[in-house]
Amino acid sequence: MAYLIKNATAIFSPTQSDARDIRISAGKITEMGRNLQPLADHSEQIIDAAGCVVWPGLVNTHHHLAQSIMKGVPEGLNQNLNDWLGSVPYRYWPKVTPELMYHAARLGLYELLRSGGTTCADHHYLYHASTSPELEDAVWQAADELGMRLVLCRGSATEVGSHHGMIEHGITPETIDQIIERLDASRTRYHQDGGDAMRKLVVAPTSLIHSSEPDGLRAQADYAREHKLGMHSHLLEVGFDEVASLKKYGKRAVDHAADCGWLGDDVWYAHLVHCDDYIIDRLASTGTGIAHCPTSNCRLGSGIAPAIAMEKAGMAITLGVDGSASAESGSMLQELNMAWLIHRAVNGPDATTLEKVLGWGSRNGAKLLGLDNVGELSVGMAADLVLYDINQPRFAGVHSPLTAPLMCGEPVSVKYSFIQGRPAIENGDICGLDEAELTARVQESVAQLIRS
């Protein structure tokens, strides 16, 4: 289908900020401007965007979709990261069946879509020695059904090491041979090249410090670079990462990462909360990226990543919602709102701007994931875009309509969402999803987890 979106209140575009209409054909933005006229052959569908602001689809660079059925677990509500890992995700994930994973993934993607997200990088780490491939397949299936652009960051562990969650629950890790063999099977089946790929695979050991042997990390880095795959992991979310690295390897965590081949412009880390000038310089000088997850970092009391200092050093900041077991909302818009506010609280009112943060959550994220044709509303770019309905009482008093959703935060109403030129939300309804059915399946999944 071809579409003509007309009469928007405002459009966030670096090239045509005065445009009010967008034409979409063959998955691309083909024209932008004012008063665009429908094609004479009536071959396109007209979308009335009156009362809406149009943004590029938001790009989530770090998620744990499996945790969508682990929200608000009482034992973990007031624990720090290390204790929480044992009480929540590592307590439950060996019990997650492919069916439960499918419903969890649908819920997580639903929440992203409802908030304006169109791309999800899921750090899926539910792998151990006897994991079945169907557990991963369930994530791909959920994304396909909802039309979501998915980057699956394939987690792994080669040792229990100092990982508290794995120690507590006696999880048997994979061998490096299993990891490479399973990676290759997923790459062959699912991975797509290109700047607007709908599916990408990323090599993503769950922790460089606590559950991965150096030789295994080097083997995974070699595999990723041989096949031109991205590389991702957690790092320096808490100070214990640095303590453990010094104790185990006699070097700082960022230096250990470098020695294992895990710095570079094809690498990004979630969190990076506990970074000093030395670490920031090493990351920036190698082009290593960050998925900044402020909501989760606040929720677990981990701290605030120095994103402003990182940006000044030359790092491109991107945003991730992290898992809903430590963020509960799964909303990209909340992440943007939190990022806008939290750095102003620490660094002053001019530390962040609305436009800058929206760039963190869209174009920066797309480029980090190797999606160079995504994340920006310009002619020739992939048609990933969101129409927020601001013709509602809570937005009526806003003087700056273009950024009203970011300023005001949740709840928002997405009237339309397009991914690669296909509707993912139409007239407020997510395509191909029954909300009542989803709610029932998720409630059943939570009950099953609690019983198991």
Strands across the sheet containing 2-6: 28-33, 21-25, 2-6, 44-48
Show the tokens assigned to 276: 């000093």
Torsion angle, CA of 368/369/372/375, rounded to 10 degrees? Answer: -80
Structure tokens at 441: 């399946």
**Ordered structural domains, the chain, with CATH:** 2-56+380-430 (2.30.40.10), 58-368 (3.20.20.140)
pLDDT of residue 94: 84
Cα separation, 348 vs 371, whole angstroms: 33
Question: Tens of pLDDT along 375-427?
Answer: 999 999 999 999 999 999 999 999 999 999 999 999 999 999 999 999 999 99
DSSP per-residue letters across 392-432: SGGGTT-S-GGGHHHHH-SS--EEEEEETTEEEEETTEETT
- Please, which residues bridge with residue 23 across strands? 4, 31
> Average pLDDT in the 87-100 region?
90
Fill in the DSSP letter of residue 229. -
CB 374, CB 382: distance < 8 Å:
yes
pTM for this entry: 0.97
Query: What pLDDT is stored for residue 193 in this prediction?
Result: 97
Q: Where are the alpha helices (DSSP H) in 250-324?
A: 253-259, 277-286, 294-299, 307-313
The answer on pLDDT for 211 being more than 90 is: no
Got the DSSP string for 342-392? HHHHHH-TTS--HHHHHHIIIIIHHHHTT-TTSSS-STTSB--EEEEE--S
User: From edge to edge, which strands make up the β-sheet containing 429-430?
Assistant: 10-11, 52-56, 385-389, 414-419, 422-426, 429-430
Per-residue pLDDT tens digits for 214-233: 999 999 999 999 999 999 99
